[in-house]
Amino acid sequence: MYIEHQGNCESCFSSLLENIKRGPSCERVAVRVGVYSHVDKNISVPQRFDRALMACNSARSDLVSNLAFYDGKMHEAEVFNDRLLEDIDRALEQKQFKVYFQPKYEIRGDRPVLHGAEALVRWKHPEFGMVSPGIFVPLFEKNALILKLDRYVWREAIATEKKWKDEFGFALPVSINISRMDVYEAGLEKELMSIVRENDLLPEEVHLEITESAYTDDSTQIVDVVERLRKDGFKVEMDDFGAGYSSLNMLAAMPIDVLKLDMCFVRHICDNPKDLRLVKLMIDVAHDMAITTIAEGVETKDQCDLLRRSGCDAVQGYYFSKPLPPEEFAGLLEKESAARR
């Protein structure tokens, strides 16, 4: 609604709510309202609505009704996001994005064995310092800019893997993150294949992490894409399993190689027997389907031991290491190559 200024917007909201509740079977409808008041007349009407929507999205959804205002803090966040959107092209040109690597350890045997690494991007912004992907990835996912950034990361990550293969004599599979939007890009397989070939690696030596929520969007299309990628030789991991609305029967329909259990499960396995049982169940179901399992967000020895006893194949998390810049990660490879000799 675009309403002329009328002093008290709380009372306007209450009467709106009363009217809504009078509708047939509307007693239990939850209403959230976002307000952009003191309108800056220099900005367009759609932008004014965007600001109201931003406020609305910040309103708590667990209450029956809630009213939120676009405020100074939201304005700051908006200005910050606009800056990041403006800066991305220059940042790509100037290589401000840094690819870090977090090790993945197989825990089936007597000693944990380094068996992979996940490539995770960071932005070394000249003004804001290190910016975490948790801030800019969701922003770029809304604008399709993620397509550009992902390709940059894939190239960097795969070229680094090749460099390590030459230096240490073995290929450590690197996982790259594939955004939901990438899955719908025609030519995804060709693109990935050409990066792999340019670097003289095999597709088997590259893992693709696709977030669970992408699988629920349009399952027929994603099954198609994943099947083609696996036919080419890539290993596909279902990322963040259990964070969204996944169901175990989705596993049966999805042609994947690795199931990556979300950190929300791992967090409470030591003190919540139900979570532990759920993790065990998921590991068993995955194994029945010849899918291997990795748990992410493992922070303590107890969590790692419990996961090993539950049959989990591999772990990733701060217990072993946080994501590292490539120079530091090379130290782990050196140790691993000495242990293999």
Residues that bind ligand C2E (CB under 6 A): 102, 120-121, 132-134, 137, 146, 150, 153, 177, 179, 239-240, 263, 296-299, 317-318, 323
Least Å distance, CB 261 to ligand C2E, is 11
Task: Give the contact letters, 161-200, x = binds to Ca ion (CB under 5 A), - = no.
Answer: ----------------x-----------------------
Report the distance separating Cα 336 and Cα 334, nearest Å.
5
Report the distance separating Cα 229 and Cα 227, nearest Å.
5
Number of residues that bind Ca ion (CB under 5 A): 4
Q: What is the radius of gyration, based on Cα positions, of the chain?
A: 24
Residue with Cβ nearer ligand C2E (62 or 271): 271
- Residues of span 210-269 touching Ca ion by CB under 5 A: 239-240
Stretch of 35-43, 52-60, 100-108, 208-216 contacting Ca ion, by CB under 5 A: 208-216
Closest CA to 210 of 230, 238, 190: 238
Cβ 158 vs Cβ 205: under 8 Å: no
Least Å distance, CB 256 to ligand C2E, is 15
Report the distance separating Cα 73 and Cα 66, nearest Å.
18
Least Å distance, CB 221 to Ca ion, is 21
Residue with Cβ nearer ligand C2E (46 or 134): 134
**Could you tell which of ligand C2E, Ca ion, none binds residue 321, using a CB distance below 5 to 8 A set by kind?**
none
**Could you tell which of Ca ion, ligand C2E, none binds residue 146, using a CB distance below 5 to 8 A set by kind?**
ligand C2E
CB atoms within 10 A of CB 49: 15
Task: Give the contact letters, 120-139, x = binds to Ca ion (CB under 5 A), - = no.
Answer: --------------------
**Could you tell which of ligand C2E, Ca ion, none binds residue 102, using a CB distance below 5 to 8 A set by kind?**
ligand C2E
Report helix, strand or coil for 137. Answer: helix
**Could you tell which of ligand C2E, Ca ion, none binds residue 297, using a CB distance below 5 to 8 A set by kind?**
ligand C2E
Cβ 277 vs Cβ 309: under 8 Å: no
Residue with Cβ nearer Ca ion (209 or 313): 209
Residue number closest to Ca ion, CB atom: 209
The 8-class DSSP code of residue 102 comes to: E
Q: Which residues contact 141 (CB under 8 A, 6 or more apart)?
A: 179, 180, 181
Least Å distance, CB 66 to ligand C2E, is 28
- The CA–CA distances, whole Å, from 86 to 32, 83, 341 equal 31, 5, 49
Residue 156 as a binder of Ca ion (CB under 5 A): the answer is: no
- What letter represents residue 97's amino acid? F
**Could you tell which of Ca ion, ligand C2E, none binds residue 150, using a CB distance below 5 to 8 A set by kind?**
ligand C2E
Cβ 300 vs Cβ 269: under 8 Å: no
Report the distance separating Cα 311 and Cα 314, nearest Å.
9
Cβ 308 vs Cβ 106: under 8 Å: no
Find the helix packing angle between 188-198 and 219-232, rounded to 10°: 20
**Could you tell which of Ca ion, ligand C2E, none binds residue 156, using a CB distance below 5 to 8 A set by kind?**
none
Catalogue the E-assigned strands of the chain: 31-35, 65-69, 97-106, 113-125, 129-131, 174-178, 206-211, 235-241, 258-261, 292-296, 314-316
**Could you tell which of Ca ion, ligand C2E, none binds residue 133, using a CB distance below 5 to 8 A set by kind?**
ligand C2E
Residue number closest to ligand C2E, CB atom: 317
Least Å distance, CB 267 to Ca ion, is 13
**Residues making contact with Ca ion (CB under 5 A):** 177, 209, 239-240
